[in-house]
């Protein structure tokens, strides 16, 4: 076998190991959350200002509570960078070096073991000039593609070396960007700490082209701790839920978000009108009420619209009225729980719906409906499909019944993790998975 054939075999192996579902635009992540045109304008401009810097490497850390739209921002930034060339002359090479969107729902996306293989595959696809070098690096040490290989070794070989090879190629060019979403969805805290430290050590290397990494996460204590590590801290440009920028307050949950949510709601109701021409568009006051019910959480607004729109068995006007009747006097951060209460209350058997929702959220590896039914047995497992279909505003139910069902957002897992989060009558919550 010739050397070229050996190297092509190595590229094929790398392609198999790279987690395609972790890429920002993977079909696995449909529908992609992204910022509508005209929303999050100041925040995106603020982030782009960091990523356009051509002087020094940076870790841009966007963090906040569940449901404020961090993944939508990450997708929108990645999409912008994918549309920008490193120079005007190039036809192929883009400023997006690679992406990795973590998810505890997917085995290969809840670990950092596949991170560097996935990112280098994207990087070498974007920059064909380093592809042969990447193949040779892996040929000389095939264990680099084993997810159990130490992250520091993977980082050195699959991230640092390829980027060093691009230094001369990118001299005088625009900076490179990588986007890493939902760090908190990596289920091993020590592993995640190692990953962040490894990325920081790479960015401190003086032989890299100017490279920025956008990280998003919840404000978890273990992530806060590593961001304060002396190896990391000087590289971090922090964007918390509220931060001051040159243009004033840049925020994920400030008053300006109400306007963005109104824009999202208006857009969604226009889409509904195309399917239901007789549906009366909500008034400006009703849109403002819905936006206030969302508590500046995009996940609440998005779930409201799924509840109103995605149920062909119920009149969307009745569903809209239910949403308008939700109280607006809620504790910050609890808005989505009250919405989940409301959705459960509309199910034919709220107790059974709560149990099935709890099980779907608790599964380490998501299962198809038929396997969930078998798992529960002939008693508790009856009518699983009928029950889950009533929850399709919060659960993704594939049309292919052999595929697993998934919760739409991690806040569902938070909701069912403590019985006190659900304020439905106690009799609805008697049966819970152990």
Helix (H, G, I), strand (E, B) or coil at 395: strand
Instruction: Please state, for a pLDDT cut of 90, what percent of the chain lies above it.
Output: 51
pLDDT at residue 34 greater than cutoff 60:
yes
pLDDT at residue 247 greater than cutoff 60:
no
3-state DSSP helix/strand/coil percent for the chain, to nearest 5?
Answer: 55, 10, 40
pLDDT at residue 328, as a whole number: 56
pLDDT at residue 65, as a whole number: 80
**Backbone torsions φ then ψ of 99, nearest 5 degrees:** -140, 155
pLDDT at residue 226, as a whole number: 97
**CB pairs under 8 A, 24+ apart, for 184-189?**
184/102, 184/217, 184/218, 184/220, 184/223, 185/102, 185/103, 185/104, 185/109, 185/110, 185/410, 186/102, 186/104, 186/110, 186/111, 186/112, 187/104, 187/110, 187/111, 188/111, 188/112, 189/222
* pLDDT tens digits, 183-207: 999 999 999 999 999 999 999 999 9
Q: Which two tokens stand for residue 5?
A: 């054939």
pLDDT at residue 111, as a whole number: 96
* pLDDT tens digits, 394-424: 998 888 878 889 888 888 888 998 888 888 7
Q: Where are the alpha helices (DSSP H) in 204-277?
A: 221-227, 230-233, 256-275
pLDDT at residue 391 greater than cutoff 80:
yes
* pLDDT tens digits, 116-141: 999 999 999 999 999 999 999 999 99
Confidence of residue 11 (pLDDT cuts 50, 70, 90): very high
Mean pLDDT of 291-311: 84
381 vs 70, more confident: 70
Q: Which residues pair with 248 in a beta bridge?
A: 245
pLDDT at residue 243, as a whole number: 44
Q: Pick the range with the lowest mean pLDDT from 136-150, 183-197, 276-290.
A: 276-290
Q: Which two tokens stand for residue 49?
A: 């200002």
The mean predicted confidence, pLDDT, of the chain is 88
pLDDT at residue 331 greater than cutoff 80:
no
Q: Which two tokens stand for residue 282?
A: 């909500």
pLDDT at residue 28 greater than cutoff 60:
yes
Confidence of residue 242 (pLDDT cuts 50, 70, 90): low
Cα separation, 190 vs 186, in Å, equals 10
178 vs 331, more confident: 178
Cα separation, 246 vs 327, in Å, equals 36
pLDDT at residue 305 greater than cutoff 80:
yes
Confidence of residue 159 (pLDDT cuts 50, 70, 90): very high
* pLDDT tens digits, 176-189: 999 999 999 999 99
Q: Are 216 and 184 in contact (CB under 8 A)?
A: no
22 vs 64, more confident: 22
pLDDT at residue 434, as a whole number: 41
Mean pLDDT of 76-103: 93
Cα separation, 117 vs 372, in Å, equals 33
pLDDT at residue 350 greater than cutoff 80:
yes
Cα separation, 355 vs 380, in Å, equals 9
Confidence of residue 251 (pLDDT cuts 50, 70, 90): low
Confidence of residue 329 (pLDDT cuts 50, 70, 90): low
Q: Which two tokens stand for residue 285?
A: 């006051």
Peptide bond into 401 cis (omega under 30): no
Helix (H, G, I), strand (E, B) or coil at 418: coil
Q: Which residues pair with 96 in a beta bridge?
A: 177
Q: Pick the range with the lowest mean pLDDT from 226-230, 274-278, 324-328, 378-382.
A: 324-328
pLDDT at residue 279, as a whole number: 86
Mean pLDDT of 357-362: 92
């Amino acid at each position: 076998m010739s050397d070229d054939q050996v190297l092509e075999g190595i590229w094929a192996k790398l392609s198999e190991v790279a987690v395609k579902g972790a890429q920002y635009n993977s079909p696995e992540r449909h529908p992609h959350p992204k910022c509508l045109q005209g929303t999050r304008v100041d925040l995106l401009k603020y982030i782009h200002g960091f990523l356009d810097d051509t002087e020094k490497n940076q870790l841009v850390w966007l963090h906040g509570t569940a449901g404020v739209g961090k993944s939508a921002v990450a997708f929108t930034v990645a999409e912008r960078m994918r549309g920008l060339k490193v120079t005007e002359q190039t036809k192929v090479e883009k400023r997006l070096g690679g992406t990795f969107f973590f998810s505890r729902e997917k085995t290969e996306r809840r670990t950092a073991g596949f991170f560097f293989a996935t990112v280098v595959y994207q990087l070498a696809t974007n920059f064909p000039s380093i592809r042969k070098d990447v193949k040779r690096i892996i040929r000389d040490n095939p264990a680099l593609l084993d997810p159990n290989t130490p992250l520091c070794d993977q980082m050195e070989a699959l991230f640092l070396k390829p980027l060093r090879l691009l230094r001369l190629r990118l001299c005088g060019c625009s900076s490179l960007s990588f986007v890493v979403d939902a760090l908190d969805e990596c289920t091993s805290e020590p592993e995640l700490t190692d990953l962040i430290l490894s990325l920081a050590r790479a960015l401190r290397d003086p032989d890299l082209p100017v490279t920025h990494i956008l990280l998003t996460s919840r404000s978890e204590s273990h992530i806060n701790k590593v961001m304060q590590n002396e190896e990391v801290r000087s590289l971090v440009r922090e964007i918390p839920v509220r931060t001051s920028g040159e243009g004033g307050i840049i925020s994920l949950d400030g008053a300006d978000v109400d306007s963005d949510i109104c824009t999202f709601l208006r857009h969604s109701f226009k889409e509904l009108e195309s399917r239901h021409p007789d549906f009366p568009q909500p008034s400006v006051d009703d849109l403002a009420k819905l936006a206030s019910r969302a508590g500046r959480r995009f996940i609440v607004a998005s779930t409201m619209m799924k509840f109103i729109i995605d149920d062909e068995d119920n009149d969307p006007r009745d569903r809209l009225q239910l949403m308008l009747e939700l109280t607006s006097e809620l504790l910050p951060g609890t808005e989505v729980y009250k919405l989940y209460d409301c959705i459960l209350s509309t199910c034919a058997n709220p107790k059974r719906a709560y149990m099935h929702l709890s099980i779907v959220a608790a599964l380490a590896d998501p299962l198809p409906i038929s396997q969930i039914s078998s798992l529960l047995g002939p008693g508790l497992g009856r009518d699983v499909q009928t029950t889950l279909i009533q929850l399709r505003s919060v659960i993704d139910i594939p049309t292919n019944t052999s595929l697993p069902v998934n919760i739409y957002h991690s806040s569902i897992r938070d909701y069912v993790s403590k019985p006190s989060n659900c304020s439905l009558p106690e009799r609805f919550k008697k049966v819970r998975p152990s």
